[in-house]
Structure 1
Amino acid sequence: MPRIEDKRHDKAAAFAQRMNRVLDFIDTHLAETEPLRLEALASVAAFSPFHFHRIFRAWTGETLQDFIRHRRLEKAGGQLVHNPAVTVQIVAQHCGFTSAEAFSRAFSQHFGMSPSAWRSGGYRHWDPVQGRACDDRPCAGLDVRMRWEPDRTVAYFRLSGSYQETPDEAWSTCMDWIRANHLEGQPRFGMALDDPLITPPVRCRYDACVLLPDGWEPRGERISRKKIEGGLYACLAYAGPRAGIAAAWLSMLSEWLPNSGHGLSEEPFVEHYAPQVTPTGDPISVELCMPLSE
């Protein structure tokens, strides 16, 4: 007979899975100028519309519309920096704003500067907590290789919070699940879904993922799964202290990308771990994979 603790764990996992479906749905529909309506989002999570707004606020700490607005602005902040050839007006459209004027006003209210000032270097002074310049310095000696990656279906375990803390906890849960399902030989992927230089730590999401074998199905268990989109990626092998990974990512963005002739696609960045590597080890060996537009 299942223990009470097991039943509670199953219910909590099912609830998290439903809410993560909503957050993923919002992320994939940010470009739509029509409002993301409460009724539609409640349906994605299979909740009653009557209760959904209260449930969403309890889960995220924000109202639904506040969450959607800051996700659109954070997405725009990244596009302005990493796709310099794209006009502010196009960025506004890609992030669901009906006019450049409305976008500029909302952006200035959120970040304290215009989109043009942000793109011109103001983003370097943005700190989501203190509002001060970041002291991280990129590392040198990059050996970036470009290659095409296939679509991958993964199981994922998501936590929100500071990237200094959440990866260890997410990977602890993921590794326990991997061992319980005898998937130790499968590649693993870490995905930080938000830019920590833009998004406050409490809203930063991290997914610990494991590649699912073709045709694999869990036995009577609820598990969150998603597709890591294939395409062209810039890949950098990194070996060293875990604290240096952030600087390696910054090097790819500030040193390699501007001279590559490519822009960034809208897919998340991926940290690729070989099956024999423990993602929480220090020092660490990992491949950093940055999605590119063709």
Structure 2
Amino acid sequence: MQMVIENLPSCRLAYVRQVGPYGPANAQAMNTLKQWAVKNQLLHESATLLGIPQDDPTTTPPEECRYDACIVITESKRLEDDIVEIGELSGGDYLICKVRHTAEDIQQAWNVIIPHLHASGYVMDNKPVIERYRWELLHQHWCEICVPVRPV
């Protein structure tokens, strides 16, 4: 598995929020976002989609877990719509882990990520983990797990 530290810049996002247990409803939120992005001509080869679970399901009741399906937007034009919200993602250092987009491969990645962080002199920072879907990876069924980090 490829793992590198990358400084992600702050960016503007359009997002659809799903509240409830993580799982199939997250994929539905992402599909809603994609349909909106196609309609607004934002889903193209330079597009970056993000999945951001906002809560830790081990400490947050399932019915209160929030998942944001996002697309990075650079246009300054107003995108008023009932479907999406507009927000900002603050940048910072992230451990980027490229993995196949399957539940099994993502789970296996987490078995490696935390020990790798500790061995590299980093710990998780207090920001949400991000699933990043860049165009060239999306069509090959790969994604990147972006873990916020800071030096020990």
The answer to whether the 8 Å contact 1:151/1:227 transfers is: yes
Gap runs ≥5 in structure 1? 1-141
Q: By how many angstroms is 1:269 displaced?
A: 0.7
- Higher RCO, Cα 8 Å, sep 6+: 2
Q: Which residue of 1 aligns with 2:95?
A: 234
1:176-227 deviation per Cα after TM superposition (whole angstroms, max 9, x unaligned)? 1011101112210000111223323222211100011231322x53541111
Q: Distance in 2 between matches of 1:243 and 1:201?
A: 21
C-alpha separation between the residues in 2 aligned to 1:221 and 1:196? 30
| Kept in 2: contact 1:229–1:267 (CA 8 A) | no
In structure 2, the CA distance between the partners of 1:238 and 1:174, relative to structure 1 (3 Å rule), is same
> Quick check: which has more Rg, 1 or 2?
1
Query: Aligned pair count?
Result: 147
Cα RMSD, aligned residues only: 2.0
1:216-240 per-residue CA deviation (whole Å, 9 max, x = no partner) reads 322x535411111111111100015
- Which residue of 2 is the match for residue 159 of structure 1? 18
Question: 3-state DSSP class of the match of 2:35?
Answer: helix
Kept after mapping to 1: 8 A contact 2:101/2:143 = no
Provide the residue aligned with 2:121 in structure 1: 261
**Structure (1/2) with the larger strand percentage:** 2
Unpaired runs of 5+ residues, structure 2, are none
Normalising by structure 2, what TM-score? 0.85
Distance 2:145 2:100 in 1: 10
- TM-score normalised by L of structure 1: 0.46
CA deviation profile, 1:145-181 (whole Å, cap 9, x unmatched): 0111111111010112222222111112101101110
Which residue of 2 is the match for residue 196 of structure 1?
A: 57
Q: Indicate which of 128, 133, 148 corresponds to 1:291.
A: 148
| Distance across 2 between alignment mates of 1:227 and 1:246 | 28
- 1:268 Cα deviation from its structure 2 partner: 0.8
Structure 2 residue aligned with 1:42 = none
Q: Distance in 2 between matches of 1:178 and 1:263?
A: 35
